[in-house]
């Protein structure tokens, strides 16, 4: 039996990016839950983390569109919490139903998860993550004055709010998660990278408007739980260099030396594959008995058996 932390990519939640309805998301998750239950059926302990980019964006945009004196915009940390519950509900239902079909008697639960970040993280001085609706330049200027937002033009489509993307330092609910995992339950946690919070200095926590990369948060979770495998599921079976070109090369293995060279060459997109690569490498750093694998959802079972995906080596 292996303890496997799965980091689910956005394609596992919303197959068609143009159809962002709850019905479409549930249908996609129902289809994709089979690959995860395959691992549970084989006796592995499975802990599930996931992204929330489109979903939290929808929630923020809905509040922005409905904003008025009597209906204020919801703070971003609260929107993140809402997305964790919404996505968790769908994953719980889909995996729970699939387990029942197969006669697997396990409970499954979503933990609304806070993740501590350093209030002095350099990311707070270099905002990079766009969230919410698009606005005109005039509206953006007004939001900067009235609400203190930082607004940035986004690819000719209008202005959007941007927030920081700090590194995760501590998962607040780690002991609760560990207790449930040790008891044999399936746990969904650190959704969207977790709700970013800072320590006020007296042991109390405060939510901050930020986005924690879900791959880094999932890696932190895997490290805390001393997982055997960190399984990053994305839209491709293997990591590739020269991606999309005639000389594309799919990689069955990646060493730290190779990763550093490929990063230097700019082989991995910063907002896509690069954080997955860095998180996968971090998980095995100094721990050769661990495995980090990047592959597609469809190849998850084969990847655990060693016949698919890209495996990271020290």
Look up residue 13 and give its two tokens: 């939640």
The answer to whether residue 247 is catalytic is no
Q: Which of 220, 238, 276, 301 is catalytic?
A: 276
Neighbour-count burial of 111, counting CB atoms closer than 10 A to its CB (0-12 exposed, 13-18 middle, 19+ buried): buried
Spell out the residues 6+ positions from residue 23 whose beta carbon is closer than 8 angstroms to its own.
Answer: none
| 238 close to 250: Cβ distance less than 8 angstroms | yes
Residue positions counted in the chain:
314
Look up residue 217 and give its two tokens: 């948060």
Q: Which of 9, 129, 238, 301 is catalytic?
A: 129
| DSSP secondary structure letter of residue 75 | P
**Which residue bears the tokens 């904003």?**
67
- How far is it, in rounded angstroms, from Cα 186 to Cα 46? 6
- How far is it, in rounded angstroms, from Cα 21 to Cα 9? 18
**Which residue bears the tokens 């993550």?**
129
Which H or E run includes 294?
strand 291-296
Q: Which of 9, 11, 51, 309 is catalytic?
A: 11
The answer to whether residue 170 is catalytic is no
The answer to whether residue 10 is catalytic is yes
Q: Which of 221, 168, 269, 214 is nearest to 54 (CA)?
A: 214
Q: Which of 214, 238, 299, 301 is catalytic?
A: 214
The answer to whether residue 105 is catalytic is no
Which are the catalytic amino acids?
Answer: 10-11, 129, 214, 276
């Amino acid at each position: 039996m292996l303890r496997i932390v799965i980091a689910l990519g956005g394609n596992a939640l919303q197959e068609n990016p143009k159809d962002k309805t709850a019905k479409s998301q549930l249908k996609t998750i129902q289809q994709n839950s089979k690959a995860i239950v395959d691992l549970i059926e084989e006796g592995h302990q499975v802990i599930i983390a996931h992204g929330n980019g489109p979903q939290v964006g929808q929630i923020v945009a809905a509040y922005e569109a409905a904003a008025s004196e009597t209906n204020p915009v919801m703070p971003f940390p609260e929107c993140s919490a809402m997305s964790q519950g919404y996505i968790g509900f769908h994953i719980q239902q889909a995996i729970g139903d699939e387990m029942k079909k197969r006669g697997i008697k396990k409970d499954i639960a979503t933990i609304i998860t806070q993740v501590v970040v350093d209030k002095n993280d350099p990311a707070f001085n270099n905002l990079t993550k766009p969230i919410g609706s698009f606005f005109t330049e005039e509206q953006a200027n007004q939001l900067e004055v009235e609400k203190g937002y930082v607004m940035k033009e986004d690819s000719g489509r209008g202005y959007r709010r941007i927030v920081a993307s700090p590194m995760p330092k501590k998962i607040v609910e780690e002991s609760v998660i560990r207790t449930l995992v040790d008891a044999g339950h399936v746990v969904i946690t650190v959704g969207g990278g977790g709700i970013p919070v800072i320590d006020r200095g007296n042991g109390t926590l405060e939510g901050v408007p930020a986005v924690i990369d879900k791959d880094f948060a999932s890696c932190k979770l895997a490290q805390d739980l001393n997982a055997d495998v960190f399984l990053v599921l994305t839209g491709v079976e293997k990591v590739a260099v020269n991606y999309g070109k005639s000389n594309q090369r799919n990689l069955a293995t990646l060493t730290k030396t190779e990763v550093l060279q490929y990063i230097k060459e700019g082989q991995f997109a910063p907002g896509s594959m690069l954080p997955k690569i860095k998180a996968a490498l971090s998980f095995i750093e100094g721990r050769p008995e661990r495995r980090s694998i990047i592959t597609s959802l469809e190849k998850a079972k084969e990847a655990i058996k060693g016949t698919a995906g890209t495996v990271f080596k020290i």
